[in-house]
Chains A and B, each alone.
Chain A
Amino acid sequence: MSQAMGETHVKQTITVNGKRQPWSGQSVRALLVDAGIAPERGGVAVALNGAVVPRGEWDSTAVRPDDKIEIVHIVRGG
């Protein structure tokens, strides 16, 4: 019983661009806003657990505990 209690107190997290942060049931769109990225901005893409989330689904896609999210953008390259 005490162990089960303990488990519920473990903070649930997600990993965004390699950094763990608390999970709060946020949408992909909210994650972008939290990260200071205007969701309307061009040249940005998001992957959730290794699969691209199309821009049109950012609002309706909620992240779950232990999800791994990659937020990328276009940078200089050769």
Chain B
Amino acid sequence: MDAKVRTDTLTIAGRSFGSRLMIGTSRYPNQQVMLDAVEASGAEIVTVAVRRVSLESGGEGLFDMLAGKYWLLPNTAGCFTARDAVLTAELAREALQTDWIKLEVIGDDETLFPDVEQLLRAADELVKKGFVVLPYCNDDPITCKKLEDLGCAAVMPLAAPIGSGMGIRNPYNLRIIRHQCSVPVIVDAGVGTASDAAIALELGCDGILLNSAVAGARDPVKMARAMRLAIEAGRLAFEAGRIPRKLYATASTPIEGAIEL
């Protein structure tokens, strides 16, 4: 691509990434499709989870497949308390030798909405322990500002419930969050298809974290490519600056010189 129309990079905690997409590794039809989709997405940041090793079967070798190729971002998915999330983050740090953590503290099984009180507590503790904390949070400007003030390296508001594919439910809150926070704003959860991702970037959000929209698509590899293009398009549109919305038409073709009968 021409250097003049290249989008700028995403920088989190001093580290720059060419792609504004972070992609999950869960729920693909099979391992090869997952690897192909992650590749097609162009994402450099790839999320993983931490779970007990099966004492019977040892377990999958996901680490060996992804390590060195991608920037692995462990999550604290499935944690309902700050205490669980902090220990999970510490285990992830030891397992991956990374200070980065996608912090999730879930408040409810059905909605998977964050428990804000526990989230703030965990974020505070993890920042103090030297983690680069990327919290999954509500699309609430106040919570996002608090997370930033605690020292989180980004805020990751949901656009809609995890895995719902409902798209950008509250674009106005996302804009307010973008205005009020100086750390990167990554839309985490809710994206259903490419246009949702483009809208988030057009609103000024700095990136997208998604999983289900790609993994659950009929053709995950194609959808991964679509997301990559949509995110690039959305970012270019944001940087280019959209025209204002107007109620009435403005002719694009000049009137001067038109024939008169």
Question: Do A and B associate with each other?
Answer: yes
The answer to whether A35 has its CB under 8 Å from any CB of chain B is yes
A78 contacts B27, CB within 8 Å? yes
Given contacts A74-B48, A74-B72, contact A36 B58 (CB under 8 A): yes
**Which of A22-30, A41-49, A59-67 faces chain B?**
A41-49
**Which of B62-70, B173-181, B249-257 faces chain A?**
B62-70
The answer to whether B161 has its CB under 8 Å from any CB of chain A is no
Q: Mark B32-60, 1 if CB is under 8 A from A, else 0.
A: 00100000000000011111110100111
Given contacts A16-B55, A45-B50, contact A74 B95 (CB under 8 A): yes
Of B28, B34, B53, B92, the residue contacting A35 (CB under 8 A) is B53
B53 contacts A71, CB within 8 Å? yes
Given contacts A37-B53, A37-B58, contact A77 B47 (CB under 8 A): yes
A76 contacts B58, CB within 8 Å? no
Report the contact-size class of chain B (Cβ under 8 Å from the partner).
35 or more
The answer to whether A50 has its CB under 8 Å from any CB of chain B is yes
Given contacts A36-B55, A42-B67, contact A74 B94 (CB under 8 A): no
Of A43, A74, A76, the residue contacting B26 (CB under 8 A) is A76
B64 contacts A43, CB within 8 Å? yes
B75 contacts A77, CB within 8 Å? yes
Contacts of A35 in B (CB 8 A): 53, 55, 58
A77 contacts B72, CB within 8 Å? no
Contacts of A16 in B (CB 8 A): 55
Contacts of B58 in A (CB 8 A): 35-37
Complex CA–CA separation, A52 to B131 (angstroms):
15
Report the contact-size class of chain A (Cβ under 8 Å from the partner).
20 to 34
Contacts of B229 in A (CB 8 A): none
B77 contacts A77, CB within 8 Å? yes
Contacts of B74 in A (CB 8 A): 74, 77
Complex CA–CA separation, A35 to B95 (angstroms):
17
A52 contacts B90, CB within 8 Å? yes
Contacts of B91 in A (CB 8 A): 45, 47, 52, 70, 72
Complex CA–CA separation, A52 to B176 (angstroms):
39
Given contacts A50-B87, A73-B63, A74-B50, contact A44 B95 (CB under 8 A): yes
B55 contacts A17, CB within 8 Å? yes
CB distance from A22 to the nearest CB of B (A): 14
Of B34, B51, B63, B94, the residue contacting A52 (CB under 8 A) is B94
The answer to whether B233 has its CB under 8 Å from any CB of chain A is no
In B151-184, which residues have CB < 8 Å from any A CB?
162
The answer to whether B25 has its CB under 8 Å from any CB of chain A is yes
Given contacts A37-B58, A45-B95, contact A78 B53 (CB under 8 A): no
CB distance from B6 to the nearest CB of A (A): 29
Contact residues of B with A, CB < 8 Å? Answer: 24-28, 34, 47-53, 55, 58-60, 62-64, 67, 72, 74-75, 77, 87, 90-96, 162, 211-212
List 10 interface pairs A-B (beta carbons < 8 Å), by A numbering. Answer: A17-B55, A41-B63, A43-B96, A50-B87, A73-B59, A73-B63, A74-B48, A75-B51, A76-B24, A78-B24
